[in-house]
Amino acid sequence: MTKLTAIICLTLCTLFAKYTATAQTIFELRKLPYDHNALEPYIDKETMQIHHGKHHQGYVNNLNKAIAGTELEKLSLEELLGRVSKLPEAIRNNAGGHYNHSLFWEILTPKKDTKLSARFEKAISETFTNLDSLKRLMNQKGSAQFGSGWVWLIVNENKKLEVCASPNQDNPLMDIAPIKGKPILGIDVWEHAYYLKYQNKRADYLSAIWNVVNWEEVSKHYEKLVPKGIFDDWQTMKDFHKVMAQTFHPSEEGNLQPIKTRSQEMLKKAEALKTATIPKEFDRREVRKTIDQLIDGSKKLDKLINSKKADDKAISKSLSELHDVFHKIVGLCSPEEHH
């Protein structure tokens, strides 16, 4: 190799290495969706500038550094969080820091009196009594979190709302989290989130922050994670479905006890469909016809179970046919069937 080719080669190699190193901007800090002073007087401009521009930027930079040149570059933020137990500490802290703060900026707003969606509000009432008790619970958990951390409202694996706290930059998406779920609202209780304005008074910061929570945005997260069921506005059909699910699924595993004891209850739920109002969007001739079939089938099944010659095979078959009729209604009422 001549000296010249060696030099060219070396230069190219250096350039290439440099290029691949600087190409490393997998994760980026998004701009704040409002001005730094927009959340005043509850969160001051200087805190926002340092919190977003220095702390969050730091997590992003360190995360990019930690995954640079490794296979981890191909993973999404959520995928990284889901396996932090097997990754270096720097990834746990900085992937957590990036995710947590991204959500935090999103669920804050200078807009006044943002509204919760009806379904989200109902879920809050069912789980925590009302919005005020949810706030109280989160304030209490946030105050009790020792040192730095976060307090979360999550949708857990059972699609239910739950409140939990986590230390440092951990969050409920991490495989190491004792309580798992998808966060829809997170409040930063690190001192860097409040110290300039509130000093050591974390409880004051926690009471103030509710003035700038964007309930529209939190509702959107909830609606996405817990989509509306097709029969949510048709209580009588939901009631029928409940008995159907609780009797049919055991029967598939050879357990006919539930249907044997509840066939009359199921018939009553089916008959109730005849008198209750059908939601407008589903009130069509074909749906009504199939409801009649559902009532007939429930009658037949109940009669069979109460007859002396009830044989398990016949009961199973009759229940399975009834289940098919129910699913015909589900099909008729599903969005893709609407023309």
Distance (Å, whole) CA 198 – CA 309: 77
Cβ proximity to Mn ion: between 63 and 315 the closer is 63
Give the bridge partners for 188, in sequence order.
150
Task: Tell me: cis bond preceding 88? Omega within 30 of 0 counts.
Answer: no
Q: In angstroms, rounded to a whole number, what is the distance separating the alpha carbons of residues 287 and 334? A: 12
Q: Which is nearer to Mn ion, 186 or 297 (CB)?
A: 186
Our CA dihedral for 80, 165, 36, 43, rounded to 10 degrees, sits at -170
List strand residue ranges (DSSP E) for the chain, in order: 149-156, 161-167, 181-188
Of the residues 59, 190, 198, 326, which one makes contact with Mn ion according to CB under 5 A: 190
* Shorter beta-carbon distance to Mn ion: residue 202 or 323: 202
Provide CB contacts within 8 A for 183, sequence distance 6+: 100, 103, 152, 153, 154, 171, 172, 173
Q: Nearest-CA neighbor of 168 among 226, 78, 231, 91?
A: 91
Q: Which residues pair with 297 in a beta bridge?
A: none
Closest separation in Å from C-beta 164 to Mn ion: 18
In this chain, which stretch among 88-96, 161-169, 193-201, 234-242 interacts with Mn ion, using CB under 5 A? 193-201
Q: How many residues bind Mn ion (CB under 5 A)?
A: 3
CB of 147 to Mn ion, least distance (A): 13
Closer of 170 and 188 to Mn ion (Cβ): 188
Q: How many CB atoms lie under 10 A from the CB of residue 23?
A: 10
If DSSP codes are grouped into helix, strand and coil, which group holds residue 157? coil
CA-nearest of 245, 272, 271, 248 to 260 is 248
Could you give the string, one character per residue 12-51, with x where binding to Mn ion holds by CB under 5 A and - elsewhere? ----------------------------------------
Between 152 and 190, CB nearer to Mn ion: 190
Q: Which stretch binds Mn ion (CB under 5 A): 39-47, 182-190, 248-256, 304-312?
A: 182-190
The span from the CA of 170 to the CA of 149, in Å, is 8
Among 188, 217, 239, 302, binds Mn ion (CB under 5 A): 188
List all residues 6 or more positions away from 32 whose beta carbon is below 8 Å from its beta carbon: 48, 52, 105
* Residue closer to Mn ion, measured from CB, 30 or 228: 30
Nearer to Mn ion, 38 or 68 (CB): 38
Between 153 and 193, name the residue whose CB sits nearer to Mn ion: 193
The phi and psi torsions of 307 (rounded to 5 degrees) equal: -80, 155
Query: For Mn ion, which is the closer residue by CB, 105 or 248?
Result: 105
Asked if 194 is part of the footprint of Mn ion (rule: CB under 5 A), the reply reads: no
Closest contact distance (angstroms) between CB of 101 and Mn ion is: 6
Nearest-approach distance from CB 169 to Mn ion, in angstroms: 8
Residue nearest to Mn ion (CB): 188
Closest approach, Cβ 55 to Mn ion, in A, equals 5
Residue length of the chain:
339
Q: Which stretch binds Mn ion (CB under 5 A): 183-191, 229-237, 246-254, 293-301?
A: 183-191
Name the segment binding Mn ion (CB under 5 A); options: 73-81, 130-138, 153-161, 187-195.
187-195
Tokens of 52: 């977003």
Considering only the stretches 61-69, 190-198, 267-275, 309-317, report the one whose residues sit in contact with Mn ion under the rule CB under 5 A.
Answer: 190-198
Between the CA of residue 188 and those of 51, 91, 147, 150, what are the distances in Å?
10, 19, 11, 5
Binding residues vs Mn ion (CB under 5 A)? 188, 190, 193
